[in-house]
Chain A
Amino acid sequence: MNWDIALFLGQDGLVSGVIYGLLAIALVLVFMVTRVIFISQGDLVAYAALSMASLGGTKTPGTFWLLIFLALIVLCTEAWRWKRGIQIDWKTTFIWTLFFPAIAAFCIFLLPPESVICNILATVFIITPLGPLLYRFVFRPIANGSVLFLLIAAVTLHGILVGFSLLFFGAEGWRISPFTEQAFHIGSVAIKGQSLIVVLVTIVLVALLFVFFEKNIFGKALKATAINRTGARLVGIPIEFCGDLSFAMASFIAAISGILIAPLSTIYYDTGFLIGLKGFVAAIIGGLVSFPLALFGALLVGQLEAFASFWASAYKEVIVFTLIVPVLFWRSLRSRHVEDDE
């Protein structure tokens, strides 16, 4: 182990850590507002990466058809609920079921397929509405269930999404070329341009999220819904829409994450799960409530993984996952054990 190798590993770890961080933030966000532990965040990241790769090969990604299919189902369900007298928020429903898919279709079919920018746009518009649509299809009907029940539903959904992934993208891995081949040199260490892009985009995204939650009133409203549902209702915060919004933000983050990692490594139809799991570890380090701690946890996981893979590559997963146990223990001690009392 010398400085060069350490720096190289450190850079590697930083890039993975940052991706895990994005995943972790999305997981914490969704959990805070809806109490769903959204295991499939990783699957959506894989969807985004694979869609990018598909589009790069000038093929219409299967995820687009999944989006259309889901949109139709949700439209039918909402119409049926409306007939039964339930109040429906048609505006937001149309945004997820008509607006986003339409723009995605426009990007795919009418814009030049060679342009990386158009592919990025298309991917974002395909993946982002998947979140709220999945929320409405799977989680909203059982929203009052226990965290465990929601977790089981999330796991079931994961199985379905992986199945679709295999169907759309096959068992072969996909890869796209990096956005830039540039590399900078500090001493003898090369800093890849691609890595820089990843870190920079993440910083911008995290900054935007920070501003949203701290400065924007809607961001505060989302946070408030997570803190106190009843209080949120009393001041007129639309709880259901908050569920939609949190899933939409999570899938937007997934879209960006997928676009960022597609050039970094080969993505397979089931890569999502492992990435998601590591992001999940990071989120747990943050107790599923703290964004900064989750980010820190993610960076830690990234570094740990990078160095563990150097020293004992076979056991790197064992190390990472065994790490969770003492963290959970520590977390559980810290979180105020509120007895299920009166």
Chain B
Amino acid sequence: MTRQPLLKLEKFSVAYGPVRAVDEVCLELNEGEIITVIGPNGAGKSTILNAIMGILPSSGETWFDGQMLVKHSVSQMVANGLCLVPETRELFGSMSVLDNLILGGFYRWRKGMRDQEENLNGVFKIFPKLKERRNQTADTLSGGERQMLAIGRALMAKPRILMLDEPSLGLAPKIVYEVLQTVSSLRASGISILLVEQNARGALKIADRGYVLETGKVALEGVAKDLLNDQKMIDTYLGLGNNSNNL
């Protein structure tokens, strides 16, 4: 029995004036999956996430849980159960770790769900370092800890889909490994994950499927394990791929 994909993009485009940063991309995320969107810099990966979240305007069709979306605002996406951890993290720097996390649960609180305490303990179990530093202000944390806080804050909303924009950015290799492993383990709690990454190898190792983006278009897609060793993917990354060589 094939279930409907949880999130489906059909001919999804995002334009900055005359330039199409994302060009008619088709993408699917099934429930419980981790998919990754990788590709060289400037390929449009962050743009896709921002547009799905409603921060940027987009054209084309977005289907969520079998329903096509008509209104595409940030508040609408939050209501649907999507959470974005942006590249810039957007933490509340001068507020404490605890407050940042509590605010992550704001939407649920507003809707009358009072499970913040329980969710908080869940997040602390995944990220024990955050529990240690819960009274420190967010801007005193290290890069890796900030990343964990950003993900933890997103988890407080108990999202159905978690979107991560380059979580490995600026982090030392060892921390990158930790973060990616943690992301992988989230699968167990039933969250579906859309991971945008520059670190292709790391991302493909934890994902089920992958999409390789290049200048706004999907250049390659497939099962993650296959993509890992695909020569074409490697060439694309280094700008020597056949797709780009139309000089």
Q: Which A residues form the contact surface with B (CB < 8 A)? A: 87, 217, 220-221, 223-224, 227-228, 230-238
Contact = CB atoms under 8 A, between A and B. Distances in A.
Given A217-B102, A217-B106, A231 B92 contact: yes
Contacts of A236: 75, 78-79, 106-107, 110, 157
Task: Give the top 9 A-B pairs by smallest Cβ distance, nearest first.
Answer: A236-B107, A231-B90, A236-B78, A224-B92, A227-B92, A230-B90, A233-B74, A235-B106, A224-B103
B210 interface: no
- Determine which residue in A220, A221, A228, A234 has the highest number of CB atoms from chain B within 10 A of its CB, and name it: A234
A93 B53 CA distance: 27
Contacts of B153: 235
Contacts of B86: 230, 234
Contacts of A224: 92, 95, 99, 103
A223 B92 CA distance: 9
A224 to B, nearest CB: 5
A234 B78 contact: yes
Given A224-B95, A236-B75, 14 more contacts: A217-B102, A220-B95, A224-B99, A227-B94, A228-B92, A230-B86, A231-B91, A233-B55, A234-B53, A234-B78, A234-B84, A235-B78, A236-B78, A236-B106
Contact of A221 (B78, B84, B103, B157): B103
B76 to A, nearest CB: 9
B111 to A, nearest CB: 9
B165 to A, nearest CB: 11
B145 to A, nearest CB: 17
Interface residues of B, number: 26
A237 B53 CA distance: 15
A3 B191 CA distance: 70
- Among B53, B78, B92: residue with most chain A CB under 10 A: B92
Contacts, number: 59
A287 to B, nearest CB: 13
B177 interface: no
B74 A228 contact: no
Contacts of B83: 234
7 contacts: A217-B109, A231-B90, A233-B75, A234-B78, A234-B90, A235-B153, A236-B78
B90 A217 contact: no
Given A234-B53, A236-B75, A236-B110, A220 B103 contact: yes
B95 A234 contact: no
B39 interface: no
Given A234-B84, A234-B86, A236-B75, A228 B93 contact: yes
B167 interface: no
A236 B95 CA distance: 17
B144 interface: no
B199 to A, nearest CB: 23
A224 B93 CA distance: 9
Given A228-B90, A230-B90, A237 B103 contact: yes
B44 interface: no
Contacts of B109: 217
B160 to A, nearest CB: 14
Contacts of A234: 53, 74, 78, 83-84, 86, 90
Interface in B99-118: 99, 102-104, 106-107, 109-110
A227 B95 CA distance: 9
A276 to B, nearest CB: 27
Interface in B39-74: 53, 55, 73-74
A130 to B, nearest CB: 26
A237 to B, nearest CB: 6
A298 to B, nearest CB: 22
Contacts of A237: 103, 106
B91 A228 contact: yes
B242 to A, nearest CB: 33
Interface string B132-172: 00000000000000000000010001000000000000000
A217 B103 CA distance: 7
A227 B75 contact: no
B93 A235 contact: no
Contacts of B110: 236
B85 to A, nearest CB: 8
Contacts of B73: 87
A235 B157 contact: yes
B75 A238 contact: yes
A220 B106 CA distance: 10
Contacts of A228: 90-93
Q: Chain B CB within 10 Å — which of A217, A228, A231, A232 has the most? A: A231
Nearest to A237: B106
Contacts of A230: 55, 86, 90
Given A217-B109, A230-B86, A235 B95 contact: no
A234 B106 CA distance: 10
Nearest to B89: A231
